[in-house]
Chain A
Amino acid sequence: MAGRIAAAIRQHGVEAYPEECCGALLGVVENATPRVTRLERMKNARVEERRRRYVIDPLEYARLEKRADAEGLSMLGFYHSHPDHPAVPSDYDREHGFPFFHYVLVAVRAGVPGEIASYVLSEDRGAFDREELLVEDLQE
């Protein structure tokens, strides 16, 4: 994942602050290594509590996935911001995660983007594991 992707995620987090932003990570998997090539901003469809929650409209998800399939891209995961909260998955994130996806979190403190980190949910859904490699890429 290139540095410009990380920059775009941070930018989105700043624009949405103090609310949470969200979006999709599209790309390809080569030799079992995911490579994000495109970012798709998505709407935080929550009506309330957008400062600490996000949800993506399922139909918007389905439309994007269909488009990605047509272009030969994969849905690799999603990103969202944690306004005034560290870039660490919450219990709520874990309960709502899927093992396959990569979840990128960006902390935005008082409107300023901070740490960015990527996680994958373990197969048994028990824990989010931080992906060091992907994080390094993010911070290029």
Chain B
Amino acid sequence: MPKILLPTPLRPYAGGAASVSVAGGTVADALQSLVERHRALRKHLYDDQGRLRSFVNVYKNDEDVRYLQKDATPVSDLDALSIIPSIAGGAGGASAAPPSTAEEVALSNEEIRRYSRHLIMPEVGMEGQKKLKGARVLAVGTGGLGSPLTLYLAAAGIGTIGLVDFDVVDDSNLQRQILFGVGDVGRPKLAAAAERLRGINPHVRIVPYEERLTSANALEIIRDFDVVADGTDNFPTRYLVNDACVLAGKPNVYASIFRFEGQASVFWAEKGPCYRCLYPEPPPPGLVPSCAEGGVLGILPGLLGVVQATETIKLVLNSGDPLIGRLLLVDALSMRFRELKLHKNPDCVLCGPHPTVTKLVDYEAFCGIEPEAAVAADGVPEISVEELKAMRDRREPYVLVDVREPHEIEISAFPESVKIPLATLPENVNRLSTADEIVVHCKTGVRSAKAVRFLREAGFRKVRNLAGGINRWAEQVDPTMPRY
């Protein structure tokens, strides 16, 4: 009788035996005789449809029976059959699809009609459109830049678009974030964005990541995409996206905006400089205001986001001259586009020949930003808007100091406040008395915390910061006051 050798994991289902003698004939007969003798083996050898499991191999002597006559392979008394597991596995990455090549992507008749203006261009054509469909692009941020970027990528037929955002749509977003409408205010950005993008093109697969991009998840998320487009508005995330792209070998289509000016480039360490070659160190915290602090012209991210979409599509099509090694500077007021040549920094700590940054780091710390909790615990005494209201209602004496800029005071202000912009506080300290109960406020509480710290160092003891600023007052105490 022929013998079947069992692998270690199946031996417990055969009473611990390493081999079992079975009836001869064909492979099918031998296996049938095996599972009749040891019924518990069936589940591990066959799936629910009765097919041999894909990771169960049957070898006759040294040959896989799949390459002989499969089930019908004859088995004699002298043959040894072996059941050998295929040991396989892997990290998976089930979120975005496995890499697809243009050959295995097909366009339906409906898609062909949709993309006809692309298809009649020889530079795109069927081949290019299939490349777009096979492409996987990750948009980090669905705000001002991410809106036009993803709208055009979806319209153009990029097959898989990953979105990273954890924010909720706010009224103040609508001036530039054209993915969202009035009805979306209060909704998670990702839900609203996915709905809008699917509405534009149902052939696009949207992969949402409703989380903050961090050193812990960035490489894992980015690995499943071909191109990353950075639409973030803060330095820690910008360095994080850059570093993760360099470590993962992905191109980073970058843009940033402030007030009337913007810049864009393609950072791809394999072919040119990275963001760290251009800016090895972040600016000191507070020096460069964010859009939330300094404002931004609403159409500017439209301009730059479309540059990002264009560069992304060029990278996917592998055509034209990408913005690699060039920094495009846009000034909307003068409507001038300038270009700076960028060179790879041979001493770059990340993409240079002798890197010292070989993994993702703590980018908040790198950018000198203290975690919020640490700032609060930093000895700045606070007063809540409710407490301030109670003090007001009881007509207790206090001095309210507004450290915002004059154009902000035009939007909203407390009538009784003393207006001293933060930058002019040192020369105006003599307008305040250490004897008074002082409450300092700004828009959200960040600048006023600095003011409180300054005043305490100047000898003021009875000074507190209005937590959440005038915006929180408008939100929680006085709904007639505008929030901005």
A interface residues (Cβ-Cβ under 8 A, vs B): 20, 22, 49, 51-56, 58-59, 61-62, 65, 68-69, 74-75, 78, 80, 82-86, 89-93, 95-101, 103, 109-112, 125
Contact = CB atoms under 8 A, between A and B. Distances in A.
Tell me if B's interface is mostly helix, strand, loop or mixed: mixed
Contacts of B86: 55-56, 58, 96
B375 interface: no
Interface in B33-88: 43-44, 55, 57, 59, 62, 64, 82, 84-88
B359 A90 contact: no
Nearest to A42: B87
5 contacts: A52-B223, A54-B89, A58-B86, A59-B62, A91-B92
A55 B55 CA distance: 10
A98 B92 contact: no
A62 B84 contact: yes
Interface of B: 7-10, 12, 18, 43-44, 55, 57, 59, 62, 64, 82, 84-94, 98-99, 219-220, 223, 247-248, 358-360
The 9 nearest A-B residue pairs measured at CB: A90-B92, A100-B9, A110-B359, A53-B90, A85-B91, A93-B89, A98-B9, A75-B8, A84-B219
Nearest to B13: A100
Given A74-B8, A82-B91, A109 B84 contact: no
Contacts of A85: 91-93, 220, 223
A82 B92 CA distance: 9
Contacts of A75: 7-9
B134 to A, nearest CB: 16
Best-surrounded residue of B57, B85, B359 (most CB of chain A within 10 A): B85
Nearest to A53: B90
A44 B418 CA distance: 71
A58 B89 contact: no
Contacts of B87: 22, 55-56, 61, 78, 96
A111 B219 CA distance: 12
A93 B88 CA distance: 7
A100 B86 CA distance: 14
